[in-house]
Amino acid sequence: MTSRLAASALGAAILITATLTGTAAAQPSGPAASRRMAADTASGVSCAPGEGVTMVVDFNGLPGGIQVSCAEGVQDNGFAALANAGFGAGSDSGPAGTVCTINGQPSQGYPYCWLTGGYWSYWRKDRGGAWAFSPVGASAGPIPVDTVLGWSWAQDFASGPPRADEDSVPPATTTTTSTVTTSTTAPTSSTSTVPGTTVAPTPEDPAAPAALDWLERELTQHDGAMPAAVGEGSDWGLTIDAIIALQLGGRGNAPATLRALEQVTAHVVDYTTGSSWGEPQTRFAGPTAKTIVGLSVSGRPTTQASGNDLAADLVGLMRTSGADLGRFSDTGDAATDTSNGFSQALGVLALARTQGVPAAAVSFLLAQQCPGGGFRIVYATSGGCTNDAQSDTDSTSLAIQALQSIATTTGSAAQRADTGTVQGQAGAAMARAATWLGAQQDPMNGAFGGTGVTAAPNSNSSGLAAQSLLGIGQSDQARKAAVWITTLQLSEPADDAGAIAYNPAALAEAETDQISEVGRDQWRRATSQAVLGLGLPSLGSVQGVVLAEGQSPGDGQARNQVPDSPTTGGSQVGTLPRTGSNVDHTLITGLALLAAGLLASAAGRRRARRSTP
């Protein structure tokens, strides 16, 4: 049998993540919008210009009305601003760093908030501007003076901005006096002992821990290394997939995760170069980038014991001239270059998380956006995308996370929208990509499919899309995808409880005959990616540095951060979705993070299936 959680409970659990990261769903329209209450009269005082950060809390049907207050001066983050404006926030037995209640509302506390009744959505605007859901979490800061922050109760998950702003009440003329008197300690994000590393709280959705438990068991049974699909050896790409999922799910200190990190660290050369078949001079861009992401999200150094700097290696794989200036490419024969849309997005994420991203790499990624907003995966021709037929769901999902890592998310609205900067262009491209990606969602069941042979709804594509959309505040769409993913989760037998099927057909087969040894590889790949859509944070929620032309990569700020959370080779067998990399890199043309399929490197690079780097 499978675990089929109630849609309302799962949806709220996904929205926990939106509150944890501080993002919020876009303002609804249609039936959902009707659940917004008529505007109450706002009470309190706002900050005078230059005085501080104005806080608007809209209880939207809960006792409390609409209250406005002022937190004087620059605020460390959104949580601090809420507390300094005189509001009391509580996690009410939820994960640390969450907002379940404000001033004791909703009075039911957990699990009414998040799991059944609604959630607090987080909004932001400039003085005189318009409300928009916050592109960064409430733990992000500092918050400059004259910013207006808002928390709005989303009853029945119908999110919308606060129904008042700084102009709804008079500004303070002297010392700010708030009408709110209740105050508790503002929740803060837990941090590890690694400087600059934020530890993701454990996902509250019960489906996610079960899937993570299963991944831990699979790693433990194979001494920390996921086995190759066929033959002897280990699949290091798939192992890193599992590490990323476990780290984002708060399992970074689990014995299985720590052992997997030891194994990957010991086999970096095997995975990122051709040394295993006598060609150590051949280097692969996708595996190098993916290794950096896996290590950095774990708070591990990306410089090997030998002194070799993986980030420097990746920069060395970036083309420096021609139509593909900025592309991360393999060394060796161009005809066997396996780099593609996943490699480029992973490369941007890797450097954003470590030493800074060359502007040329970001520009090349931006050029891969097709006219309609999707991103291409196959780089069969030089330059950028000119045909929407090349758009790929999975490539677009990962591109959104890469763009999120370097998009302008601070400063004024004008600065954030300035397309004269690479960061501003990234933000605009991210918005277009999110619109395109959302349009690919099945309106009936909420699932996403890939393209080509993976076009049918599947948990791999759905998990990556949900993670990406949730990371930029598209909570409603992420919730729908997550609900569908949980319908593919096994609850028995006990050894395989928590595993997530690639599609309904794989689930039905396992329910009848259990997971076969041949089919187990597919389940490992599907679960590693599908669990990302069950409330795990985006890899792009760390703010990276874009390096100007001529600026040394070492000038960027080392980050090695785990994102804020509530807010992710053997040869192919049959139709198994691919998310790891084949040990024999010469047989691969697609290097994909946790995505299904494999790209054939011969005969015009016809897309047959997808593989991770």
Largest Cα–Cα separation, the chain? 75
- The predicted pLDDT at position 97 comes to 57
pLDDT band at 587 (very low <50, low <70, confident <90, very high): very low
- The predicted pLDDT at position 139 comes to 77
- The predicted pLDDT at position 419 comes to 55
- The predicted pLDDT at position 492 comes to 86
- The predicted pLDDT at position 449 comes to 96
Compute, in degrees rounded to 10, the torsion defined by CA atoms 568, 602, 326, 383.
Answer: -120
- The predicted pLDDT at position 15 comes to 35
- The predicted pLDDT at position 7 comes to 36
- The predicted pLDDT at position 517 comes to 85
**C-alpha distances in angstroms, 231 versus 68, 185, 225?**
64, 55, 14
pLDDT at 400 over 60: yes
109-125 mean pLDDT? 79
Digit-coded pLDDT (tens) for 244-269:
999 999 899 999 999 999 999 999 99
Q: Which long-range contacts (CB under 8 A, 24 or more apart) does 85-89 make?
A: 85/53, 85/55, 85/178, 85/180, 86/178, 86/179, 86/180, 86/181, 86/182, 86/183, 87/55, 87/57, 87/180, 87/182, 87/183, 88/182, 88/183, 88/184, 89/184, 89/186, 89/187
Radius of gyration of the chain (CA): 23
Digit-coded pLDDT (tens) for 353-398:
888 899 999 999 999 999 999 999 999 899 999 999 999 999 999 9
- The predicted pLDDT at position 578 comes to 32
Other beta carbons within 10 Å of 63: 10
**Dist. CA 359–CA 565, nearest whole Å:** 28
**Dist. CA 125–CA 134, nearest whole Å:** 8
**Dist. CA 465–CA 533, nearest whole Å:** 7
pLDDT at 121 over 80: yes
DSSP per position, 470-517: HHTT-HHHHHHHHHHHHTTBB--SGGGTT-B-SSHHHHHHHHHH---T
448-466 mean pLDDT? 94
Digit-coded pLDDT (tens) for 516-558:
888 999 999 999 999 999 999 899 876 666 766 666 555 434 4
- The predicted pLDDT at position 556 comes to 38
- The predicted pLDDT at position 160 comes to 83
pLDDT band at 101 (very low <50, low <70, confident <90, very high): confident
- The predicted pLDDT at position 552 comes to 57
**Dist. CA 567–CA 414, nearest whole Å:** 26
Label the pairing between strands 147-155 and 52-58: parallel
**C-alpha distances in angstroms, 331 versus 335, 341, 475, 561, 606?**
11, 17, 40, 29, 21
| Cβ pair 153, 162 in contact under 8 A | no
- The predicted pLDDT at position 24 comes to 34
| Lowest mean pLDDT across 397-411, 506-520, 581-595 | 581-595
Q: Tokens 């990323």 belong to which residue?
A: 244
pLDDT at 234 over 50: yes
Q: Tokens 């329910």 belong to which residue?
A: 511
Most confident of 6-15, 23-32, 413-422, 569-578: 413-422
- The predicted pLDDT at position 422 comes to 80
Q: How many CA atoms lie within 13 A of 363 on its CB side?
A: 18
* Whole-number percent of the chain with pLDDT over 90: 43
DSSP run (H or E) holding 347: helix 341-352
pLDDT at 165 over 80: yes
pLDDT at 135 over 50: yes
296-307 mean pLDDT? 80
- The predicted pLDDT at position 203 comes to 44
**Dist. CA 86–CA 370, nearest whole Å:** 47
pLDDT band at 613 (very low <50, low <70, confident <90, very high): low
Higher pLDDT, 137 or 602: 137
Higher pLDDT, 23 or 279: 279
- The predicted pLDDT at position 175 comes to 36
Most confident of 4-18, 142-156, 576-590: 142-156
pLDDT at 222 over 70: yes
pLDDT band at 132 (very low <50, low <70, confident <90, very high): confident
- The predicted pLDDT at position 496 comes to 94
Alpha-helical regions (H) of 383-421: 393-406, 413-416
Topology given in CATH for the domain delimited by 207-610: Glycosyltransferase (1.50.10)
pLDDT band at 473 (very low <50, low <70, confident <90, very high): confident
Higher pLDDT, 113 or 458: 458
487-514 mean pLDDT? 93
- The predicted pLDDT at position 247 comes to 93
- The predicted pLDDT at position 172 comes to 58
Domain boundaries along the sequence of the chain: 7-168, 207-610
- The predicted pLDDT at position 140 comes to 78
* Whole-number percent of the chain with pLDDT over 70: 71
pLDDT at 85 over 80: yes
| Lowest mean pLDDT across 254-258, 277-281, 492-496, 580-584 | 580-584
Higher pLDDT, 151 or 193: 151
* Amino acid (1-letter code) at residue 39: A
Higher pLDDT, 11 or 152: 152
